[in-house]
């Protein structure tokens, strides 16, 4: 028998070694490495291994590459607007507003729509926003051990120190 790929929805499934048709009594199992061919048992798989080995290794490498190259293309949860659930365009700092009261990034469209309706509160949590209370809001969330608030406060403290002293002096002060 030749090493011919078996289709996914092929009704005439057959063992790649002996040609036995798959049925209720004969359960065919795909080659676990390449999923190209099916076998009726381990004996047939071993007998067919010599013919199938080269194709199997090649297809297994292709499958591994597909898996590796498809990873990392998913966006994080924080990259989506919590109101309209659309992805925020990159660079996010140009296309979104960070709300300190709830630690959410809201897209400019939702922020604009809220202001257009006359709502000057946070478009997500609807908490009134005043510039005087921003630091107090963040510190309140930090005391509640909110990881996003801790990160936000740390990043802002670092950047404030860098802009005031320069990165070299700031790093020396930290160490």
Reported as a single tens digit per residue, the pLDDT across 60-88 is 999 988 888 877 767 776 789 999 999 98
Return the pLDDT at 2: 46
In the chain, which residues have pLDDT < 50? 1-2, 7-10, 167-175
Contact 42, 23 (CB under 8 A): no
* C-alpha span between 82 and 85 (Å, rounded): 5
| pTM of the predicted structure, to 2 decimals | 0.48
Listed in sequence order, the residues at least 6 apart from 56 whose beta carbon sits closer than 8 Å to its beta carbon are 31, 33, 34, 36
Phi, psi angles (nearest 5°) of residue 155: -60, -45
Contact 48, 17 (CB under 8 A): yes
Q: Is the peptide bond preceding residue 91 cis, with omega within 30 degrees of 0?
A: yes
Count CB atoms within 10 A of the CB of residue 88: 22
* C-alpha span between 44 and 175 (Å, rounded): 65
DSSP β-bridge partners for residue 104:
99
Q: DSSP secondary-structure letter at 146? A: -
Which region, left, alpha or beta, applies to residue 146 given φ > 0 means left and ψ of -120 to 50 means alpha?
beta
Phi, psi angles (nearest 5°) of residue 168: -65, -45
3-class SS of residue 157 = helix
Taking each helix axis as running N to C, give the angle between helix 134-143 and helix 147-165, from 0 to 180 degrees, rounded to the nearest 10.
130
Return the pLDDT at 127: 87
Q: Is the peptide bond preceding residue 11 cis, with omega within 30 degrees of 0?
A: no
* C-alpha span between 13 and 153 (Å, rounded): 61
């Amino acid at each position: 028998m030749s090493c011919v790929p078996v289709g996914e929805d092929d009704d005439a499934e057959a063992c790649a070694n002996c040609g036995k048709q798959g049925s209720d009594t004969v359960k065919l199992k795909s080659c676990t490495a390449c999923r190209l061919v099916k076998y009726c048992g381990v004996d047939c798989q071993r007998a067919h291994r010599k013919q199938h080995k080269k194709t199997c290794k090649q297809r297994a490498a292709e499958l591994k590459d597909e898996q590796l190259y498809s990873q990392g293309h998913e966006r994080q949860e924080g990259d989506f607007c919590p109101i309209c659930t659309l992805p925020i365009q990159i660079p996010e700092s140009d296309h979104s507003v960070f709300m300190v009261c709830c630690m959410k990034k809201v897209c400019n469209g939702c922020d604009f729509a809220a202001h257009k309706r006359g709502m000057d509160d946070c478009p997500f949590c609807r908490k009134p926003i005043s510039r005087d209370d921003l630091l107090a809001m963040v510190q309140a969330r930090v005391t509640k051990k909110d990881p996003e608030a801790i990160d936000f406060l740390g990043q802002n403290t670092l950047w404030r120190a860098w802009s005031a002293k320069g990165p070299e002096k700031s790093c020396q002060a930290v160490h």
